[in-house]
Amino acid sequence: MTERRYLDHASTSPIRPEAIAAMSRWWAAGHGDPSRMHAEALAARFEIEQARQQVADCFGARSREVVFTSGATESIAAAVRGASHRGCHQVLSAVEHSAVRLSAQRLEAGGHRATAVGVDSTGRVDPAEMAAAIGPETAAVHCQWANHEVGTVQPVAEVVAACRERSPEVLVHVDAAAAAGHVPIDFAETGADLMSVSAHKFGGPPGIGALLVRRGLRLVPLLEGGDQERARRAGLENGAAIAGLAAACEALQDGGLGQEASRARSQTNTLRDRVRAMENVVLYGHPTHCLPHLVCLGIADVEPQAVLIALDRAGVAAHSGSSCASESLEPSPVLEAMGADAHHSLRLSVGWSTEDEDINAAADALGEALADLRRLRRNS
C-alpha cells in the first residue's frame, strides 16, 4: 500500500490528539445545556468560559470579545450582514475568500453595493487604496490577514490605520482563517473591529470557529432565537467542539506556535528549492510577506486536475490553487486579480503533522507526475 503524504493543511488540517482528548472528556462528562441553572448546566458553562479565555489568549483578545460560531464562513457572514445595517456600501480586496465576496454580493439585491480593490502581482493590497474606496455610505472594509491560495500576508495594521484616518466610524473586518494557528495574531494590536477564525485550519475540529468582536461593538446577529453568546449568536453551544478548539489553541501557547511555524517555514523552503529546478514551474505569492506553511505553484503547460490525480496515485494529497479543480469550473479570482494564470496552479501546504520526509517524497512525486504528463502530451 502506498504511504500517504498529506500536504493539504490549508484546506483542512487533521485534528490534533489534544483536541480529540478534550472533546472525548466533554462527551464523557454528560454536560447539560449551559444556559440552565442545574449542576450539569453550570459545569458546561464553566468549561465553555474556560475555553473562551483560552481562545482569547491565543488571538490577543478579551474573553468577552470571543463569539463562538460554526466556523469562519458563519463568522464572515455575521460580519458582512451585521455591518450592512450600518450602511449600504462595503469595501473588500479583490483577493478575499469567496465567503466574503459572495456574502457582500448577496446584499446587492437589497440595494447594497460592494467595491473590490485590486492587488499587485504578489497579491498584496495597498492600504491607501483600500482607504480611498471608503465613501459616505461605507459600513465596513474587509481585508484578509493572509491569502488562502497564494499565502501572501497583508499589511493588516496599516489597512486598519488608513481606514481609521479616512473614516473612524467604518468597521474593519479581518478574515484570519488562513493565518490563524500559523502566524502570531493579536486582535487588540491590529485595531480591527471584527476578526474571523476557524478551528479546522490548524488542527481543531471542523464545525467550530469564532468571530472576535471589539469590546463595545454591537452588531445585529446573523442567527436569532436565543440569548446564547450574550445574545450575539443564538443556538445551543457546541460544547465538545468548543473544547476541541480551545485545546488546539492551547497547543500553540508557550512557544508551540513559533516551533510549528519554524518547522513549516523550513519545510516549505525545501519544497520551493525543489520546484525551482523543475521545468515551467513558477512560484506565486509574495516572496517574504507570506504564510510559513503554504506554497502555490503555476504550471502553465499541464492541467491541474491531471497533476492532482497523479499526485494522489503517488500518495500525495494536494490541492489546485484555483477553484477549477474543486467545486467550480471557474478560474481563480485570486490569481486573476494578481494578473497570473488563473487556470493552471497547484497548492501544497504543511501543518502540525507534516514530517520532513513528506516534503521530498511530494517533490519527487510532483517531478515524476509532470514528466509523465508532458510525455503523454507529446505522444498524443
Query: In CATH, what number is assigned to the domain containing residue 328?
Result: 3.90.1150.10
Cα–Cα distance measured from residue 63 to residue 173, given in angstroms and rounded to the nearest whole number: 18
Encode 78-129 in three state secondary structure: HHHHHHHCCCCEEEEECCCCHHHHHHHHHHHHHCCEEEEECCCCCCCCCHHH
* Range in 34-48, 208-222, 329-343 the model is least confident about: 329-343
Q: What is the mean pLDDT of residues 240-255?
A: 98
Determine the angle formed by the axes of helices 256-276 and 356-379, rounding to 10 degrees.
Answer: 30
Spot the catalytic one: 58, 290, 296, 324.
Answer: 324
- CA dihedral of residues 315, 321, 326, 330 (deg, nearest 10): -150
Q: Identify whether 296 is a catalytic site residue.
A: no
* Half-sphere exposure at residue 49, Cβ-oriented, CA atoms within 13 angstroms: 11
Are residues 304 and 224 part of one domain? no
Q: What is the mean pLDDT of residues 313-317?
A: 98
Per DSSP, the residues of 142-204 read: E--SB-TTT-BBP-HHHHHHHHHHH-TTSEEEEE-TTTTTTS---HHHHT-SEEEEEGGGGTS
- Rg from Cα positions in the chain: 21
Q: What is the mean pLDDT of residues 329-352?
A: 92
Cα–Cα distance measured from residue 345 to residue 22, given in angstroms and rounded to the nearest whole number: 38
- The per-residue pLDDT for range 145-164, each reduced to its tens digit, is 999 999 999 999 999 999 99
Q: What is the mean pLDDT of residues 43-50?
A: 98
Give percent of the chain above pLDDT 70.
Answer: 98
- The per-residue pLDDT for range 103-131, each reduced to its tens digit, is 999 999 899 999 999 999 999 999 999 99
Position 178, amino acid: A
Distances (CA, A) of 275 to 271, 281, 301, 359: 6, 7, 15, 11
Are residues 276 and 191 part of one domain? no
Is 93 within 8 Å of 130 (Cβ atoms)?
A: yes
Confidence check: pLDDT of 255 > 90 = yes
Are residues 294 and 183 part of one domain? no
3-state DSSP helix/strand/coil % of the chain, to nearest 5: 45, 15, 40
Q: How many domains does the chain have?
A: 2
From 54, 33, 51, select the one nearest 42 (Cα to Cα): 33
End position of a domain, from candidates 194, 219, 251: 251
Are residues 265 and 172 part of one domain? no
- Residue 324: the pLDDT is 41
**Reported pTM:** 0.95
Residue 377 pLDDT grade (very low, low, confident, very high; cuts 50, 70, 90): confident
Are residues 359 and 232 part of one domain? no
Confidence check: pLDDT of 233 > 80 = yes
Give the list of residues 6+ apart from residue 287 with CB closer than 8 angstroms, or none.
122
Cα–Cα distance measured from residue 112 to residue 89, given in angstroms and rounded to the nearest whole number: 6
- Residue 349: the pLDDT is 98
End position of a domain, from candidates 202, 230, 251: 251
Are residues 343 and 297 part of one domain? yes
Cα–Cα distance measured from residue 7 to residue 348, given in angstroms and rounded to the nearest whole number: 5
- Residue 326: the pLDDT is 46
Q: What is the mean pLDDT of residues 209-220?
A: 97
Position 20, amino acid: I
Position 279, amino acid: E
- Residue 329: the pLDDT is 55
From 140, 125, 82, 80, select the one nearest 105 (Cα to Cα): 80
Are residues 207 and 326 part of one domain? no
Are residues 374 and 310 part of one domain? yes
296: helix, strand or coil: strand
Q: What CATH number has the domain bearing residue 204?
A: 3.40.640.10
Tell me the residue range of the domain where 124 lies. 17-251
Q: What angle do CA 235, 74, 24 make, to 5 degrees?
A: 60
Cα–Cα distance measured from residue 5 to residue 321, given in angstroms and rounded to the nearest whole number: 18
Are residues 194 and 62 part of one domain? yes
End position of a domain, from candidates 235, 251, 267: 251
Is 8 within 8 Å of 354 (Cβ atoms)?
A: no
Are residues 329 and 247 part of one domain? no
Distances (CA, A) of 22 to 18, 41, 134, 205, 247: 6, 18, 44, 11, 6
Cα–Cα distance measured from residue 235 to residue 226, given in angstroms and rounded to the nearest whole number: 6
Neighbours of 320 (CB within 10 A): 22
Are residues 355 and 287 part of one domain? yes
Confidence check: pLDDT of 319 > 60 = yes
Return the residue matching grid coordinates 481585508: 143
Are residues 185 and 266 part of one domain? no
The rounded mean pLDDT for the chain is 95
